[in-house]
Amino acid sequence: RLWRGEEDFSFGEIASSLGGAVTVMGSGAYSTARAENPFGGIVPHWAVSVATAEVEVDRETGHVKLLKFGTVVDVGKAIIPISAKAQVEGGATMGLGNALFEECVYRDGQFLNGDDMQYRLPLMEDIPEWWETVMVENEDGPGPMGSKGMAQTSIVVVAPAIGNAIYDATGIRVKQLPITPERVLQAMGKV
């Protein structure tokens, strides 16, 4: 709900008052009130993750292929290890999309590529055969039996690992995500 003085409005009321003439966008934040977590402050969990990648870069097309990927994640306690591993690997796959494929294209505030044909998600063929996941169990998380959130931390480490692997392979840095073939070629000075 949105409040203005004593008046309050639902999202539906606000959206219908716009008459469909604009795209509604918003942002928000959440802070937990739990102050007794083991890390101090109001952070609900804190987990760390690292990743490494090996890539092949086609210097003619700018195409980046992930050849090998590994991640190490502090999961606190993996209560159901196979599920925890799937969470970590699912998060890393989301990170792969963020790193190489998923790009929102807007013009005049309109989302232009929001369909399956234009908004590229990772496919099974994008997942390398060599993928190693290591879960470190310190049992120091705020969840049951010392568990922590784990999938989220595996998302954010993928792009830096791939970016550094591209640098290692080519000597160039691509400083915008996703690292598309066009951006690789631009960084090489070919476009």
- What's the pLDDT score for residue 35? 54
Q: Where are the beta strands (DSSP E) in the chain?
A: 2-4, 7-9, 49-57, 64-74, 106-107, 110-111, 130-136
Q: Scanning the structure block, which residue is given the tokens 């999309």?
A: 97
- Predicted structure pTM score: 0.76
Q: Scanning the structure block, which residue is given the tokens 């692997």?
A: 165
Q: What is the DSSP string of 112-151?
A: ---STTTS----GGGS-SEEEEEEE----SSSGGG----H
Going residue by residue through the chain (191 aa), what tens digit of pLDDT does each one get?
A: 777 788 887 767 777 776 666 565 666 665 555 555 555 555 556 678 999 999 999 999 999 999 999 999 999 999 999 999 999 999 999 999 999 999 999 999 899 998 888 999 999 999 999 999 999 998 888 788 888 888 888 999 999 999 999 999 999 999 999 999 999 999 999 98
CATH of 2-26+45-187, one of 1.10.3720.10, 3.40.50.300, 3.30.365.10, 3.40.50.1820: 3.30.365.10
Closest CA to 99 of 157, 42, 151: 157
Structure tokens belonging to residue 180? 């598309």
Distance between CA 151 and CA 136 in Å, rounded? 13
